[in-house]
Amino acid sequence: MDGWVNDPNGLALIDGRYHVFFQYNGAEPRHRSITWGHASSSDLISWTYHGVALVNRPGNIDQQGCWSGCLVDDRGLPTAVYTAVRDSPAEAVVALARSEDRTLLTWRQSDHGVIGPPADRSLTETRDPYVFSYAGHRYAVQGTGGRDAEPAVLLYGCDDLDRWTELGVLLDFTDPLVRRIAASSTWECPNLFPLDGHWVLVLSCWQDGDLCSVYLIGDLEPHDAGPRFVPRSGGRVDDSSAYYAPQALVTADRVLIWGWAREVQRTETQLLEAGWAGALTFPRRLSVVEDRLVSTPVAELDRLRGDQLDAAAPITARAFEIRSDAGVRLALVDGDDHQVVVDGSGPVRVFVDGSLIEIFTAGAPPRTVRAYPRPTSVWSVRSDPASVVVTTLSLPSS
CATH number assigned to the domain comprising residue 59: 2.115.10.20
Q: What is the pLDDT of residue 222?
A: 92
Per-residue model confidence as pLDDT tens digits over 211-260: 999 999 999 999 888 999 999 999 999 999 999 999 999 999 999 999 99
DSSP string, 345-366: -SSEEEEEETTEEEEEETTS--
Supply the CATH number for residue 376's domain.
2.60.120.560
pLDDT surpasses 80 at 320: yes
* Between 1 and 61, the higher pLDDT residue: 61
Q: What is the pLDDT of residue 77?
A: 96
Helix, strand and coil content of the chain, in percent to the nearest 5, comes to 5, 60, 35
Q: What band does 178 get if pLDDT is binned at 50, 70 and 90?
A: very high
Q: What is the pLDDT of residue 170?
A: 98
Q: What is the model's pTM?
A: 0.97
Residue 286's domain spans which residues? 3-297
Does residue 260 belong to any structural domain of this protein? yes
- 208 phi-psi bin (left φ>0, alpha ψ -120 to 50, beta other): left
Same-domain check for residues 208 and 332: no
Percent of the chain with pLDDT over 70: 99
pLDDT surpasses 90 at 179: yes
pLDDT surpasses 90 at 275: yes
Q: What is the pLDDT of residue 1?
A: 82
Per-residue model confidence as pLDDT tens digits over 17-37: 999 999 999 999 999 999 999
Q: What is the pLDDT of residue 183?
A: 95
Distances 264 to 151, 257, 279 between C-alpha atoms, Å: 24, 21, 12
Q: What is the pLDDT of residue 100?
A: 87
Same-domain check for residues 355 and 339: yes
Q: What band does 397 get if pLDDT is binned at 50, 70 and 90?
A: low
CA gap 346, 150 in Å, rounded: 40
Q: What band does 209 get if pLDDT is binned at 50, 70 and 90?
A: confident
Compute the residue count for the chain: 398
Does residue 398 belong to any structural domain of this protein? no
Same-domain check for residues 315 and 255: no
Q: What is the pLDDT of residue 210?
A: 86
Same-domain check for residues 265 and 320: no
Q: What is the pLDDT of residue 243?
A: 98
Q: Do 79 and 98 touch, CB atoms closer than 8 A?
A: yes
